[in-house]
Structure 1
Amino acid sequence: MAILSFASCSVSHFSPPISLRLHLPPVTALCYHGSFPASTLKTELRPLLLGCLDRRETGLIFRCNCLSSPIDAGSQFESLFSLLRRIGFREEESEMIIAKNPDIKSTSLDKIGNRIASLQSLKIDGLALLGLIAKCPNLLTSEEFDIVITFFADELEGRLEPELVERLLSVVDTSFLLSFNQKVRLLIQHGIPKEKISHVLSKVYLNKLLYQKSVEDIERLISFLEPFGGIGIIARRPVILNSDLDAQLIPRVEFIRNLSGEDDFATGTVLRRLPAILSYSVEHMNSHVEFLKSFAGLTSEQVFKIVHVFPNVISTSKERKLRPRLEFLKESGFDSPGIFKFLSKAPLFLALSEDNLSHKLGLLVKIGYKHRTKELAFAMGAVTRTSSDNMQRVIGLYLSYGLSFEDILAMSTKHPQVLQYNHASLEEKLEYLIEYMGREVEELLAFPAFLGYKLDGRIKHRYEEKLKSRGENMSLNKLLTVSAERFSKAADGIEVICL
């Protein structure tokens, strides 16, 4: 057993510490103060030395006359301060970090440096890195973070947004991060692409996902939604992962399924079109269904057909939008079957803002539509899918080509879509009709549907093929609506492919 002893030692105080001189004796040295094993020296003296080093406001100089082998504790300690200083910490901030995480003093600088490099590889740098370390100093030393950071960097290929990584690494209980890896793998295995995983995780409540949802809970949730669209619904509405399966999701999905007549495919269509419908309670959905049945006289089957094409009807305010819009249809002469037919084709009419509808209503009245008529209602339904600005430009374009308000009214009565076409593409068609085909704009009064055909895919192709047969006088209707076979015959045997 190696015996060590102190010949003589002196201790002096100094403030602030300028230097630290520590000398330990060779293992063969003897001392009249007694003897103890070398292992005891290492285990008993080391905490004392580190404790002294940790006191920056006062210092201790140890002088042992018989010591000759220096220890590098002070050098390592200053290297640690240097490392923290290089990434941006001031001395007092470094002291605070060490005080909050004493393990940092006994951790190798290589390991700490590698941990910092790993965080920087995940795009955690600058002030974000300083803030994260200051908030969670154990991030530099805890073994539990190795698995998590490796998962982020390797399996997820560093795709997580830096802000999300910060939120995850600053959790109170790091043990939950290990199950987090499993949960993310489960989502990927079920079909969430890695490039979308950051988006999905950024939309959920991480506290619930980390602390309240087990891997088994998530597996059950995905399995339940599988017949209706499963992981695709979750990808579009990640917050569904936070919902309680038994108390929330199952009752809500079953309500929609019962309304559909237990049609899983139709139910899935509703959920895929509007996953947010699952955020509404059964009571809320039922109140909207009952309102449409009682106020508009619709059946449950008719209500579902409207919900099927426009699920947002469930989120529309009954008093601010549904009631006044349905009253408008009633005043325009629609009965219950008429209301159902109208809403099946133009359900968006129920959800548009009051300003949007008021502006469009004013434009329709300006070109000649009369209040409280079915014609006005049908026209309102036709323009729900265009902006009021585009509609105004379209009317102005028709006027610039010499058409009157009466002409526009006649065209829109015959073919309501003429007011909803994109004004830019509409201008190209009008220019082609007048400049290249040599037709009169008045021909549109007889066949306004001309404006609905694709310019390159149908109009130009048919017209150019007809020119080859010198049949320039074919009507617009016949030119565009006849079948490919009949058009080929009309074009004197020239083969025409109908696009």
Structure 2
Amino acid sequence: MRPRSWSDPGKLFRRKRAPSLHVQCRRVISSPNVEFEPGALYVLFQERRLNEKETESLLTRDPDLRLKSIGSLWACVASLKSVGISGLELCHLVVICPSVLAAGEIDPFILFVHDKLDGKVDPMQLKRLFMSTESRFLAEFEEKVNLLIDGGIPREKILHVLNNVNLRKALSLKPFEEIERLLNFLSCYGGVDLIFLLELGGGDEDATGAVLHKLPTFLNYRVEHLESHVEFLRSFAGLDDQEIFRIILVFPNIVSASRGRKLQPRISFLKECGLNSNEIFKFLTKAPLFLGLSFEGNFAYKLGFLVKIGYKYRTKEFAVAIGAVTRTSCENMQKVIEPFLSYGFSCEDVLLLSRKHPQILQYNPDSLEEKVEYLVGEMGRDLDELLDFPAFLGYKLNSRIKHRYEVKKKIIGEGMSINKLLSVLSERFAKKKLEKLVHKA
């Protein structure tokens, strides 16, 4: 049965007001001699409706809570509220991470956030930090923030930085020396706004530098503009930060593409074709120009051409074909198709070739004709073999096709599968060549 003094939790809430200043959490001295009642947590978090069993579970997970007086618990709760963590978010935090009420490093950290940072760090940033980081890693947080300021980040921008990075990775777990090296890196490229891009790339300085090398004007964009593009790709395309950064790495100009006129309709099209977020990511890394090219002056013609040769609109096959032809023109696609029709292939055959090997639609027509002539004239093979292995047309004629054919012809004669001849890795091919020659000798 609950002790009499806790029979009306609501009454106790009305009677005992939480301390108004968070600094009292530091001033209250907890004594191990104070007998702690589990009902205290029940009262403090009644809006979460924790029962005695759940409260006892918290105490079991963090026995240090038993050393805290009721007054100090109230003060710590008030302290957390002073930096914006309140209501259900506060209750959820305590249930998941009860150490926020007991760890000695928490109060100095909150004092710094409240007094020196005006309590303007995003509460959700703080909550994520508390839930993902051992409290001992918070002890040097103030010194590390001061290091950023001393390293050149203006005080008026420090809150922007803290609210847009992963605090655990960027500060709490990062040694002083590494932070100093980061600041030196940023200074080479002109500013702290790059922290957003560096954080998006998981701290990969080489990759971040590669983005800036490809698109120096990246620095001209406001962080708010970049954030809006990233958030769009997160929410609408379902991509995570690592995937978004990889897309930026291969196609930095994505930041200049209009969300309304290009990004939204293009990604909507991929969704209509049945691609999920992972397939959208793979598509955009292989065919990033899809996001930048004109629809009316480019893709509209290609869509019509693909439908004409037999592709069904809004299918995954159709999306793959579109990805394959982003770097070519409609005129080139026509020139690729015409020789096959002249060889006697039907439109269905051409469709089959491109389904198996979509890249065929973007190849150089003259190069294709040379390979077909070599296949038929020198190798004495039937054109129908291309229907089984259209990738033949993607290999280099001299260094791969001719070289391997001549080598194998000397060893085993002319009868060989063009698939096995060309698809074997170079190292394995060389090893087999040597083994055959030794065996023959």
TM (norm. structure 1) is 0.48
- In structure 2, list runs of 5 or more residues that go unmatched: 1-180
Q: Is the 8 A contact 1:228 1:264 kept in 2?
A: no
1:298, distance to aligned residue in structure 2 (A): 1.8
1:258, distance to aligned residue in structure 2 (A): 2.0
Equivalent residue for 1:368?
310
Q: Report the CA distance shift for 1:432/1:423 in structure 2 as closer, same or farther (over 3 A).
A: same
Q: Choose from 463, 474, 496 the match for 2:416.
A: 474
Separation of aligned partners in 2, 1:340 and 1:488:
40
Letter in structure 2 aligned against 1:278? L
Q: Choose from 380, 384, 387 the match for 2:329.
A: 387
Q: Does 1:448 align with 2:390?
A: yes
Separation of aligned partners in 2, 1:225 and 1:395:
55
**Cα-to-partner distance string for 1:25-69 (whole Å, 9 max, x where unaligned):** xxxxxxxxxxxxxxxxxxxxxxxxxxxxxxxxxxxxxxxxxxxxx
Separation of aligned partners in 2, 1:262 and 1:478:
43
**Cα-to-partner distance string for 1:47-96 (whole Å, 9 max, x where unaligned):** xxxxxxxxxxxxxxxxxxxxxxxxxxxxxxxxxxxxxxxxxxxxxxxxxx
Letter in structure 1 aligned against 2:330? S
Report SS of the residue matched to 1:403: coil
**Cα-to-partner distance string for 1:200-254 (whole Å, 9 max, x where unaligned):** xxxxxxxxxxxxxxxxxxxxxxx99984896xx8xxxxxxxxxxxxxxx414422
1:443, distance to aligned residue in structure 2 (A): 0.4
Q: Choose from 403, 410, 415 the match for 1:461.
A: 403
Equivalent residue for 2:433?
488
**Cα-to-partner distance string for 1:239-280 (whole Å, 9 max, x where unaligned):** xxxxxxxxxx41442221122122211211111122221222
Equivalent residue for 2:228?
287
Q: Is the 8 A contact 2:404 2:421 kept in 1?
A: yes
Equivalent residue for 1:399?
341
Letter in structure 1 aligned against 2:293? L
Higher relative contact order (CA 8 A, sep 6+): 2
Separation of aligned partners in 1, 2:258 and 2:339:
36
Equivalent residue for 1:13?
none
1:493, distance to aligned residue in structure 2 (A): 4.6
Q: Is the 8 A contact 2:186 2:192 kept in 1?
A: no
Aligned-pair identity in percent equals 57
Q: Report the CA distance shift for 1:276/1:494 in structure 2 as closer, same or farther (over 3 A).
A: farther
Equivalent residue for 1:327?
268
**Cα-to-partner distance string for 1:276-310 (whole Å, 9 max, x where unaligned):** 21222222212211111122122222211211221
Count of residue pairs brought into register by the alignment: 256
Separation of aligned partners in 1, 2:391 and 2:431:
20
Equivalent residue for 2:207?
266
Letter in structure 1 aligned against 2:284? L
Equivalent residue for 1:350?
291
Q: Is the 8 A contact 1:465 1:491 kept in 2?
A: no
Letter in structure 2 aligned against 1:437? M
Letter in structure 2 aligned against 1:397? P
**Cα-to-partner distance string for 1:8-37 (whole Å, 9 max, x where unaligned):** xxxxxxxxxxxxxxxxxxxxxxxxxxxxxx
Q: Report the CA distance shift for 1:410/1:448 in structure 2 as closer, same or farther (over 3 A).
A: same
Report SS of the residue matched to 1:296: coil
Q: Equivalent residues in 2 for 1:118-197 (5 A)?
A: none
- In structure 1, list runs of 5 or more residues that go unmatched: 1-222, 234-248
Q: Choose from 371, 374, 380 the match for 1:432.
A: 374
Q: Is the 8 A contact 2:200 2:242 kept in 1?
A: yes
Separation of aligned partners in 2, 1:279 and 1:304:
18
Q: Is the 8 A contact 1:229 1:272 kept in 2?
A: no
Report SS of the residue matched to 1:325: helix
Equivalent residue for 1:253?
194
1:459, distance to aligned residue in structure 2 (A): 0.7
Equivalent residue for 1:338?
279
Q: Report the CA distance shift for 1:490/1:378 in structure 2 as closer, same or farther (over 3 A).
A: farther
Separation of aligned partners in 1, 2:407 and 2:375:
16
Equivalent residue for 1:58?
none
Q: Report the CA distance shift for 1:228/1:425 in structure 2 as closer, same or farther (over 3 A).
A: farther
Q: Could you say which structure has the higher strand fraction? A: 1
1:467, distance to aligned residue in structure 2 (A): 2.7
Separation of aligned partners in 1, 2:370 and 2:436:
25
1:336, distance to aligned residue in structure 2 (A): 2.1
Q: Is the 8 A contact 2:186 2:194 kept in 1?
A: no
Separation of aligned partners in 1, 2:439 and 2:366:
33
Report SS of the residue matched to 1:298: coil
Report SS of the residue matched to 1:402: coil
Separation of aligned partners in 2, 1:486 and 1:414:
29
1:489, distance to aligned residue in structure 2 (A): 6.0
Letter in structure 2 aligned against 1:406? E
Q: Could you say which structure has the higher helix fraction? A: 2
What is the aligned-residue RMSD (CA, Å)? 2.5
Separation of aligned partners in 2, 1:478 and 1:224:
50
TM (norm. structure 2) is 0.54
